[in-house]
Each structure stands twice: as C-alpha cells, then as structure tokens.
Chains A and B, each alone.
Chain A
C-alpha cells in the first residue's frame, strides 16, 4: 500500500500505547481472531489491530484512544464489501461492529425498527417479517451485509426503483464521532424535521465521518403477492424501447432490471419486471406487461418462489466472486441503452467480455468485466475506465469503480474527478474528523 510520502505521519504509529489504553479500560473489548485479520484485509493490506467492541461505550473508548494517538480506524461489519473504495492510506485498526448486533426495538404498530449496526440485513428482515413487514432494501448478499455496511457503502438492489435507497429509509442514527463522543440525529418517528438530517451524510460515506452504531428505519408491509415477468428481447435497442413502454404504462413495478452479456452470446437482452402488491393487482399488471412485448420477444411469467429466486439472482450476481473490474454507472434512465452500446463498442475494440446488469428504471448500470485472456495494450484497465467514464460523463452521468482485481486497482481512479462540491466535502470531513483518522484515503479524492 503506497501512502503518499508528504502525508506520512511524522512519528511511527503507537500501537502498543493504544493496546495499553484498552487494557486500562474498565471492560476490555475483545480482540479479533486470526480469521478476522484476513477477513478485514483491504486490497490485501491487513489491519494492524482488530477490535470487536460489544457496547457503544466500548466503541467510544476505542475511538478516544485511537484519536488521542492519531491512529487510523476503519469501521467494518462482516467484510463482504470492503473492496469498495481504496485501501486505507495508513496502517489501520479494523473496528468490527459484528458484536454490536442487537435488535434495539421493533415497533410493528408504528412501522419502525431500530438496530445496532452489526446486525445483518437478513436478521433485520427476519425480525420485521415476524410482523408481516420488511425493510424495503435489497443489497447484494444480505446475510453477509451488516446494517452499518448497508448505510456506509450505500448498498441497494432491484427494489430501489419502487422503494428508494437506504437514505430514504433511515430516520435516525447514533454515531460515535472520531473523538469518541456520541451524537444522535433524527429520531424514531417516520416523519421528523427537527434538526439537520445528518443520517444522509453517513449514507455512502464509507466510514470516513463517524462510526454508526445504531440506526432506525421506516418499514413497509410485506406485499401479499409477488411475481415477475421476464421478457427476452433480441437486442438492447429493443429492450430500451420496451423499457420506455413499461415506464409509460399504468403499472407500479417493484423493480425494472435489464440484463445482458457483451459481446452478445445469443442469449439476448433480458428485461425483468418485478411486481408486488395485492394478489389482484399483481395479476392485472402481469397481463398489462404481456401486452407491451413485441412479436418475437420471449415472455416468462414467474410466480411467487420463482419470481423471488429470479430477483435474488439479480440482487446477488454482481457481488458473487471476484470480478476483474466491477463498475457502477449512473445515467438518466433513457440513456441506459446508449451507455450499453458504448460498452459493447469498448468490449469489441479491446476484447473484453462483460456482464451488464442495470436497475434500468433508475439508470444505474452495474458492469462486471471478465478477466481478459490475452490483454493487449488497449485493454489497460486504466484506459478502459477512463474511456467509459468519459462516455458516462458525455451522457450526463458518472462512473465509480466498485471492485477491481488487486493487480490493476492501485492505478485506477475509483471515484472519478470533477466532483464540483469536493471542497465542501473536504470541509465536512475536516470538521467531523479533524485528525483524519477515519478510513483515511478510502473515499473520494482519497479524502483523509
């Protein structure tokens, strides 16, 4: 891991002093196991320490100790999504929240749920399901995703089309600040404008602003029926035309996904529309959808379990296994096919195979680039990312590298430059983490 020389700490980090501070505390947080050190390695860089606090006061004490010694801290959940963002630019402590996994409160009558952030998304869903409710978000690999990871990495899935993302569901947070003090914002009622909505700042902040220890969410009632309609079109242009018809039709889809492989392998371009709601709604909407297909499109109606399995596959596929390169592109929904066409051209020119999965109704395109067999000079990952980012920008959008193989990642610009509000973002970071100890170097512009 290459720390920028001008930013190297003047003195060596004092880990033994930190260890001593923890030993002195009234109840000593557990240390991580050998497996934890491997699990919380980021781009191959192992943490110097792993601590597993079991209470919020323990988190506070750890942060206070790290803060006083200027040691870098990376808050982690289960480690499944640590590939997002750069490796920390300094040796770091992994602060595992996995033991902070209590369900604090579920108020079914008020459709709210408060969880400690080490709870898994699957456990949250199980708790809500007991009352016929769900947290309407479907990040990839929910059993391996903590609530803190859900928020910090701003993870989302197909249901974002109908339910929004975690920022839309988070109504209150408790955060341990860089210096160990504890601060809350929001509350436990679904409608609340008292004070600033700081929860939003932590969504997608990748552990750079504070350690989120508790979160309160709005819940929704689980739908009575679920179904999906899978429509396979000959090519992307036809799929885009179908998407536009779907968006104009009297439908309330739960998700609108587009899946294709590049170069085309004959499997066509698949559009999956999820439906959820009252049984009679779902049936009526399935019929409406069928009528939107063109002659030659293949239509499959998936009922309950089959539909669920199809959506789960869409949810998880982009996160299973190591990709050579995983990209997340955001454009306007009408520009999805234009970007996919650009991808096709890029893949053909440099000889790359890709799997494309788009939350098409939102204009979010996930691209998994397969490892090239015989990469030519044109296939340099950096050049590919730069060209595709320019194309996304030309279409009015953005591109983020979500995942990259270790040998190519250090040379990549993960977040893209030209973030207009970067000076403000840096001031936010500076004010909330003046010593720059929280996940330094991980987020946009290597902010630290």
Chain B
C-alpha cells in the first residue's frame, strides 16, 4: 500500500490535481481495451514533464514501489493493467507536440500526444505519421512505442519501430536517458530498437522523435466483394504473390460487414461473405496499372463485385467503417475479446477455416476484421461478461486460435503485445533459453522488476486464468 507520506511527496511533485486516489475516480483506470481482467491501482500520478516523471520515479525508487505506465488505455492485451504495481503513472498530461521539422521530416512529441494529432499537425507540410492503429483518434504515441503498434497502412510502410528515431526514457530509478536521436545510425547498441515494443517494462518513455513521410500523391481504394472468407483469403494470397504492394489490405467477414453496415450505412452488401479493402497509393502514374492487376487477381479468386472509391469522401467513409468496426460490435454483444495472432499470409485460408470450427466447437460468435496483407488476424469473440460460462469459453477459444496460428508458422501477436493476456502462451513460441535472454535484457533497464511487473514473461509465476468477469485480477 502507498503511505500517506509518499502520496504527499507525489503531490508535491505533480500538484494536488495530479494525484488521483479516490476509489470512484480510480475505477476509470481498472483496465484498458482488454476487459477480461480488471485491477485498480492505489494511486494514479499524472506528471506534466520529463522532470516530473523522473522525480516521481525517484520517489518510488526510494521506497521500492512498483509502478505501471499508462497512455490512454486503448491497449488490447492488458499491458497497463496494474498487477502488483500500486502506482500508475499516466502520461495524458504530457500532450504537447514539441517540434515539427518538415524539411527533415521529423516531429518531436511528448508521449501523451494522440497518434492522429501528429498527422494533423504535419499535414499542412505535405507530411504524415504513417503508423495508424485503428484507435488512432484516441491512442497515444507513448502507448504506440510501448506496443510497437501497427495499423492498416503499415503493410507497405512498416510499423512503429520503423518510424521512431529516438526516445527520452526515464529509467525505473529516475535517471533520464536519450536513446537514438534526431540523426540516423547513432553510435553504440541500438537500445532504441529494443525499447520500442518492450511493453512499458524498461521505464517510462516521455518523448519520442518520429519520422514523418510525404503524403502519397494519389490513392486508389478498391472494395472487392466475395461470397466467402475462403475466396477472400485466396485473393489476399494472390495479391501478396502478385508483387503489387498495397498500402493497406484489409478483410471484413459477414458478421462484421453487417454490424458495420447497420452502424454506418456505407453500402456494403449485407449478404457478402467477405469484403477486401485494397488501398494503393503513390505517384499517380502507376496507380491505374496496379489497380488493374489487383482487379484481375480478385476476379480470378471469385470476387463477385469490385468497386473503386469515387473520391476522397468515399475513401474516408470506407476507412471510417474499417477503423470503427470494433465499436460497431456493441450492437451484437455487450463484450468482445479481440485476438491478434499472425500467420504467413498464404495460410490465411486455413486459419480462417479453423477459427470457424473453433467458434462452432465453443458455441461462440466470432467476427473477423483484420490486416490480411501481413497475415495479422483479429478474430473478435463476442460474449456477455455476465455469463460466466460464455466468458470462460471465450478465453479457451482465444487460446486455441493462437495455438493454431503458431502451428501454422505464425505468432501470438502482431501488434497488440503479450501484456497479461498471452503470458501463459509464450512457451508456445519461445524456449526457456530464448526467454532468459529477454529477461536478462529487461533486468538491465529494470533490475528490481518494478516497472510494469508481471507482464510478458511466464517465469513471473503468474498464470493468467480468468474465472469470473469483473473480478479483480490477482497475482
């Protein structure tokens, strides 16, 4: 528990309004976008600067108190769930864009800055920040750095780690270090590279130097309609093999199409088995030729119709549907759990078949809306958390899906992270020797295991077993 003395010291650092300790206010922080487990911190601290973060961590260090960093809480693997960490450090008040250098295509931002703000600020200069998680209107750059977030447009342009040039990291003892920098190839080990995607276990990233990219000269966005997910998956494999690299290649299955159509009235065919959104971008001159090739591949794989977005407004409407698909599921069930497995793209037809079989076996409704081009699936398992039996079936079915991904040569997570959710599954892809190197590296940054403890590594001894919804997650 947090002593009164520590609370008052924390208030001295961040101001009275920067420490949350009332139970009702704390309940806001009981989970992120992964809602199967919940746990409330003792206090939430909201620093306003790197110096304040450093001062807070020094205080916690002096008393040996574990803590968990949190951005805006949109994560999908329970990465900022406090487990044995009484103090949560929220970065939401560090939300300034510090510098925009269009000539060098760099932006320097505080980690509480919302992803979409960066592109909005860069747009007048003909630039944008490429990684675009579906939650980009709400998720923070700090969270993106922690999880190495992806998004639809990372197929062609790479994920967060390919677009971060430097970070300011406050280590668990309060020391501030700068990793990477404004320039490329800074001498020494690439500590930046291993910090991105470390799920907030190395310390607290307070600032990031981001690479900006020119806005594409043109877009061509196609919607291909299929009778079945199997046909759509075959088309995805065909597109990847065709050599055309779309900026984005997304699939929605029937359940999702219907939910999205009910919510946004875009004009999706409600009876389609699957649709593919294929976006091409780049210099105008090449777009028509590439679109023709995509059209051929889709038709060869049984597309029953292909539409091309007529203008920017239609393109934006289409992306709105895709990016808000999760939200639209509220119409179908009170709760959902989104998995994030990866398979080699040519195994998509098999994994989709297996997911369907798993849904049948566990008597669950499973929708699919995902980044097909890189094989990053997002099966969405619908449930009602008041139904304990259904909740347990969701957990079991989710794990079975991930086991199948691994069996097909894939991975447990493409962009959401291990968090608390998939800790117990890590031995499926890593040996104890593999994991021990990672834990050794973690200990370099966080020797006392106080920064976001009980995440990622199964050796922490915690088995993630969910027995009842709304329970407090226990160690």
Contacts and interface: CB of A to CB of B under 8 A. Distances in A.
Interface of A: 107-112, 132, 154, 164-165, 167-168, 175, 177, 181-185, 187-201, 203-205, 209, 220-222, 244, 247-248, 250-252, 277-278, 280-281, 283-285, 328, 330-334, 362-364, 396-398, 400, 415-416, 419-422, 424-425, 427-429, 431-432, 443-444
A398 B104 contact: no
Contacts of A278: 285-286, 289-290
A397 B183 contact: yes
B74 interface: no
B300 interface: no
Given A193-B416, A194-B429, A195-B438, 19 more contacts: A191-B376, A197-B148, A198-B194, A198-B438, A201-B191, A251-B283, A278-B285, A281-B285, A330-B184, A362-B184, A396-B182, A398-B185, A398-B187, A416-B187, A419-B186, A419-B187, A419-B188, A431-B440, A444-B189
Contact of A281 (B147, B286, B414): B286
A421 B177 contact: yes
A444 B285 contact: no
B189 A195 contact: no
B415 interface: yes
B332 interface: no
A254 B412 CA distance: 34
A203 B192 CA distance: 12
B198 interface: yes
B273 interface: no
Given A190-B375, A191-B371, A424-B191, A432 B437 contact: yes
Contacts of B440: 431-432
Contact of A415 (B105, B182, B188, B283): B188
Interface string B221-239: 0000000000000000100
Contact of B183 (A175, A181, A398): A398
B454 interface: no
Q: Which of B147, B412, B443 has the most CB of A within 10 A?
A: B412
Given A280-B286, A332-B104, A420-B177, A109 B237 contact: yes
Contacts of A132: 243
Contacts of B197: 193, 196-197
Give 8 nearest A-B pairs by CB, closest first.
Answer: A200-B193, A278-B286, A221-B243, A281-B286, A284-B285, A109-B346, A110-B344, A191-B414
Contacts of A185: 430, 434, 437-438
Contact of B186 (A109, A193, A194, A398): A398
Given A112-B344, A167-B193, A182-B433, A428 B183 contact: no
Given A110-B375, A196-B197, A197-B194, A330 B185 contact: yes
Contacts of A250: 214, 217, 283
B183 A421 contact: no
Contacts of A164: 158, 162
B374 A428 contact: no
Contacts of A181: 433
A110 B126 contact: no
Interface string B420-449: 001000100111011111101111110000
B10 interface: no
A433 to B, nearest CB: 11
B352 interface: no
Contacts of B103: 244, 247, 333-334
Given A330-B184, A331-B183, A363-B183, A197 B430 contact: no
A110 B437 CA distance: 28
Contacts of A167: 190, 193
Contacts of B430: 184-185, 194-195
A201 B409 contact: no
Interface in B166-203: 177-179, 182-194, 196-198
A425 B191 contact: yes
5 contacts: A191-B375, A196-B198, A252-B214, A362-B184, A421-B191
B411 A194 contact: yes
B183 A191 contact: no
A201 B441 contact: yes
Contacts of A190: 374-375
Q: Which of B103, B194, B283, B342 has the most CB of A within 10 A?
A: B283
A195 B435 contact: yes
B413 A194 contact: yes
B159 interface: yes
B285 A283 contact: yes
A434 B418 CA distance: 29
Contact of A203 (B104, B190, B410, B418): B190
Nearest to B285: A284
Contact of A183 (B126, B177, B342, B436): B436
Contact of A193 (B147, B162, B187): B147
